[in-house]
């Protein structure tokens, strides 16, 4: 008995966004849609989760911290 070997297909962010847009337009279950497009169901769920978390990651990625120690002049009261 031979095992089925799958070839990994790396898709760009634009291709993933296109697939997810098509998923939202169609009224299919995730397993049905994944089978139609040659995807693993876990891959489809992962893309959906990653897309859902993306705005939060971008928002949390940058934190601005003032540089009070690098100022010339009066030193701040730091202990």
Check the CA dihedral 50-54-60-64 and report its sign.
positive
SS (H, E, C) 5-37: CCCCCCCCHHHHHHHHHHHHHCCCCHHHHHHHH
pLDDT at 21 over 60: yes
Residue 38 falls in which region: left (phi positive, over 0), alpha (psi -120 to 50) or beta: left
What is the predicted pLDDT for the residue at 19?
93
What is the predicted pLDDT for the residue at 2?
60
pLDDT in tens, 29-79: 999 999 999 999 999 999 999 888 877 666 555 667 777 776 665 555 655
What is the predicted pLDDT for the residue at 34?
94
What is the predicted pLDDT for the residue at 29?
93
Domain ranges of the chain: 13-58
């Amino acid at each position: 008995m031979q095992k089925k070997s799958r070839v990994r297909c790396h898709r760009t962010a634009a291709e993933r966004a296109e697939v997810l847009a098509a998923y939202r337009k169609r009224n299919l279950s995730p397993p049905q849609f994944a089978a139609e497009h040659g995807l693993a169901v876990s891959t489809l769920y992962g893309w959906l989760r990653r897309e859902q978390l993306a705005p939060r990651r971008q928002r949390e990625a940058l934190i601005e911290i003032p540089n009070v120690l690098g100022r010339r002049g009066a030193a701040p009261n730091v202990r």
